[in-house]
Each structure stands twice: as C-alpha cells, then as structure tokens.
C-alpha cells in the first residue's frame, strides 16, 4: 500500500534527530511505500535549509536519494530531477520547481536572477523577464 506522508515524516528520515520518531518512520516505510507530494517536497527543502541549516549539496543529495528508492514515490519525478539539477546550479528550489512544471508554456517573472545559471548553461527552458 502507498501512503502519503507529511513533511515532518520526511524530515525525521533526512536528519534522524529524534530516535523514537526515526524508528517509527522506518517501521512505517517497511510496511508501506511513501508518496511525496510537490508541496511536501517544497516544504522539505525549506525546512532542511532554514531550520536545519543543511547545505544545498546535502539537500540535493537527499532528494536524489529519494528518487532512487523504490519505496519512495514522488508526485513529479521527472520534474523533480530537473529541479534538483537546476538547484545544484544555484537556482532557488521553489523557482526550479516552478520552472520544471510549466511544460511547454511560456514563463514570465520580474526576477532577473530566476534560475539564471541553469538557463545560461542551456539546462533549463528560457524565461521571459518583465
């Protein structure tokens, strides 16, 4: 059975800062596959960065590891892979997720630094800056 999990479940898995909760998460994961929604993914990055002061590299590595696990299902695996690549190049995670989900639509922003490095290197689709 696949169960959807909240950010706090995934944070316990990532940082293992509470042994009791961590063991509960592992027990749940042994019984079920985890589904991680886009909103949980966004919040995970924010919590790991702001609360736990994790580096961009560590956060990107954790998301990459999640994508490799057969018991972890992300709502948007292909989009998340792209966003992680752009995040590693310096893009804001939420911006990278926005850009990864637009498909073939034109994207407009006022933010001149929006995924700048990824776009400059040709890894991300072009955007329109107003």
DSSP state, residue 62: H
pLDDT tens profile 82-107: 999 999 999 999 999 999 998 888 88
CATH 3.40.50.1010 intervals, the chain: 1-75
Q: At what angle do helices 38-50 and 56-68 cross, to 10 degrees?
A: 150
pLDDT tens profile 28-84: 999 999 999 999 999 999 999 999 999 999 999 999 999 999 999 999 999 999 999
Query: Model-level pTM?
Result: 0.89
Window from 88-92, 109-113, 123-127 with minimum mean pLDDT: 123-127
Can you tell me the distance from the alpha carbon of 100 to that of 85, in angstroms, rounded to the nearest whole number?
10
Phi, psi dihedral angles at 33 (to 5 degrees): -85, 150
CATH 3.40.50.12780 at 1-75, yes or no: no
């Amino acid at each position: 059975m696949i169960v959807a999990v909240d950010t706090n479940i995934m944070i316990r898995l990532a940082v293992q800062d509470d042994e009791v909760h961590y063991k509960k998460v592992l027990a749940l994961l042994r019984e079920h596959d985890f589904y991680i929604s886009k909103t949980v993914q966004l919040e995970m990055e924010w919590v790991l960065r702001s609360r736990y002061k994790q580096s961009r590299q560590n956060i990107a590595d954790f998301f990459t590891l999640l994508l490799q696990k057969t018991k972890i299902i992300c709502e948007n695996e292909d989009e998340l892979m792209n966003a992680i690549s752009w995040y590693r190049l310096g893009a804001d995670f939420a911006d990278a997720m926005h850009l990864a989900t637009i498909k073939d639509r034109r994207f407009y922003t006022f933010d001149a630094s929006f995924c700048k490095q990824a776009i400059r290197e040709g890894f991300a689709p072009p955007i329109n800056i107003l």
